[in-house]
């Protein structure tokens, strides 16, 4: 069963002089097991959109359901793991253990069941158990982000929802998070992420939703996204587009540096062969 948004509109400061239409007439369906990227400029409505999924915000009109249930239900809150933009703001316990255990305990799991989930989540983010006694606020930004992610994973969510999870992290911190997300997706968890970082995420995204001024301006596969004009492209796709505009017959559906290298070498040898046959 999916997350379904039907004709959603959401306003901040409704009926005041400061009224802002953050989302308008948004229709979206996200299936279990998908890896979806939510893109758009600052202020486009991305963070607002994902807060509708688990009832943190309620739409002013339209309807949201998660597996057929209301987002405000406790059941839904346990099926959706959320990692917010500033992971440090999400942390509030004295130890990493307490931090990761908070969700399961709050949902009424026993100490023993909770401990199992903490160990499992810790492993998923590639931390060892010495981490558990650490003070979350003594950690680096990347480590805090992984603790926040582990806290969400301890719920064993069907949907993992993240807001800019690798923004501001160093390369190794980014890689750890991306590797974990890929692993979760391979295990069947839907991963829905807001991101500006196309370079890091593009190889993983199966579907892209682009928001512009509170409306969905594009929705489709990576391949379709690459064919769309006036969208932010990852560096590798910009390069491929540039090569094509110069008449090089490279395949446009290229998502990683490795694929680009292979494709350029293929086209190069093809051109050399044609020239030698002339
Ligand atoms: N708490 C708030 N109060 C008033 N306006 C807000 C609030 N949060 C966001 N907005 C406005 O709603 C719009 C969408 O914001 P947001 O969902 O945060 O966008 P994004 O995450 O894409 O940057 C923007 O115009 C923003 O200024
Ligand atoms: Mg945001």
For residue 163, being part of any structural domain is answered with yes
Instruction: Judge if the beta carbon of residue 20 lies within 6 A of ligand 1.
Output: yes
CA-nearest residue, atom 17 of ligand 1: 45
Take residue 230 and report the two structure tokens written for it.
Answer: 């006036």
The pLDDT, as a whole number, for residue 168 is: 85
Dihedral in degrees, nearest 10, Cα atoms 145, 152, 193, 170: 10
The pLDDT, as a whole number, for residue 87 is: 79
Is pLDDT above 90 for 189? yes
For residue 150, being part of any structural domain is answered with yes
Q: Do 84 and 105 share a domain, yes or no?
A: yes
How many whole angstroms separate alpha carbon 161 and alpha carbon 189?
A: 10
Full residue range of the structural domain in which residue 264 is found: 233-278
Q: Do 59 and 167 share a domain, yes or no?
A: yes
Q: Do 217 and 240 share a domain, yes or no?
A: no
Per-residue pLDDT band at 162 (split at 50, 70, 90): very high
Instruction: Judge if the beta carbon of residue 19 lies within 6 A of ligand 1.
Output: no
Task: Look up the CATH number of the domain holding residue 48.
Answer: 3.40.50.300
The pLDDT, as a whole number, for residue 13 is: 95
Q: Do 139 and 189 share a domain, yes or no?
A: yes
Q: Do 207 and 248 share a domain, yes or no?
A: no
Q: Do 122 and 7 share a domain, yes or no?
A: yes
For residue 66, being part of any structural domain is answered with yes
Distances (CA, A) of 97 to 179, 235, 247: 22, 39, 56
Q: Do 126 and 239 share a domain, yes or no?
A: no
For residue 26, being part of any structural domain is answered with yes
Is pLDDT above 90 for 269? yes
How many whole angstroms separate alpha carbon 259 and alpha carbon 134?
A: 41
For residue 227, being part of any structural domain is answered with no
Mutation choice for ligand 1 from 43, 195, 210, 211, CB with most ligand atoms inside 8 A: 43
For residue 64, being part of any structural domain is answered with yes
Please give the tally of structural domains in the chain: 2
Q: Do 135 and 267 share a domain, yes or no?
A: no
Q: Do 158 and 238 share a domain, yes or no?
A: no
How many whole angstroms separate alpha carbon 256 and alpha carbon 259?
A: 5
Take residue 251 and report the two structure tokens written for it.
Answer: 């395949």
For residue 256, being part of any structural domain is answered with yes
| Minimum-distance ligand 1 atom for the alpha carbon of 18 | 4
76-116 pLDDT, tens digit per residue, is: 999 999 999 887 788 999 999 999 999 999 999 999 999 99
Q: Do 101 and 151 share a domain, yes or no?
A: yes
Is pLDDT above 90 for 118? yes
Exposure string (b/e) for 171-199, b if CB count within 10 Å is 16 or more? eebbebbbebbeebbeeebbbbbbbbbbb
Q: Do 155 and 19 share a domain, yes or no?
A: yes
Is pLDDT above 90 for 232? no
The DSSP symbol for 24 reads E
Q: Do 81 and 191 share a domain, yes or no?
A: yes
CA–centroid distance, 51 to ligand 1, in Å, is: 11
Is pLDDT above 90 for 182? yes
Which residues contact residue 22 at a Cβ distance below 8 angstroms, ignoring those fewer than 6 apart? 10, 11, 12, 45, 48, 214
2-61 pLDDT, tens digit per residue, is: 999 999 999 999 999 999 999 999 999 999 999 999 999 999 999 999 999 999 999 999
């Amino acid at each position: 069963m999916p997350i379904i948004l039907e004709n959603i509109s959401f306003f901040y400061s409704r009926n005041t002089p400061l009224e802002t239409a953050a989302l308008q007439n948004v229709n979206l369906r996200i299936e279990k097991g998908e890896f979806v990227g939510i893109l758009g400029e600052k202020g486009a409505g991305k963070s607002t959109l994902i807060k509708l999924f688990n009832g943190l915000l309620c739409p002013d009109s339209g309807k949201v359901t998660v597996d057929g249930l209301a987002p405000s239900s406790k059941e839904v809150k346990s099926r959706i793991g959320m990692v917010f933009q500033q992971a440090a703001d999400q942390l509030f316990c004295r130890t990493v253990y307490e931090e990761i255990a908070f969700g399961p305990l709050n949902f009424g799991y026993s100490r023993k069941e909770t401990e199992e989930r903490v160990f499992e989540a810790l492993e998923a983010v590639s931390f060892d158990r010495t981490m558990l006694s650490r003070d979350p606020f003594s950690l680096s930004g990347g480590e805090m982000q992984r603790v926040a992610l582990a806290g969400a994973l301890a719920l064993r969510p069907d949907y993992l929802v993240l807001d800019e999870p690798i923004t501001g992290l160093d390369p190794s911190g980014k890689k750890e998070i991306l590797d974990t997300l890929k692993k979760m997706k391979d295990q069947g968890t839907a991963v829905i992420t807001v991101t500006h970082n196309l370079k890091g995420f593009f190889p993983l995204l199966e579907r892209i939703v682009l928001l512009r001024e509170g409306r969905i301006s594009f929705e489709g596969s990576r391949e379709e996204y690459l064919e769309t004009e006036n969208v932010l492209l990852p560096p590798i796709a910009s390069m491929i587009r540039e090569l094509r505009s110069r008449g090089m017959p490279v395949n446009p559906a290229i998502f990683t540096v490795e694929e680009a290298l292979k494709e350029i070498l293929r086209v190069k040898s093809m051109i050399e062969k044609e020239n030698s046959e002339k």
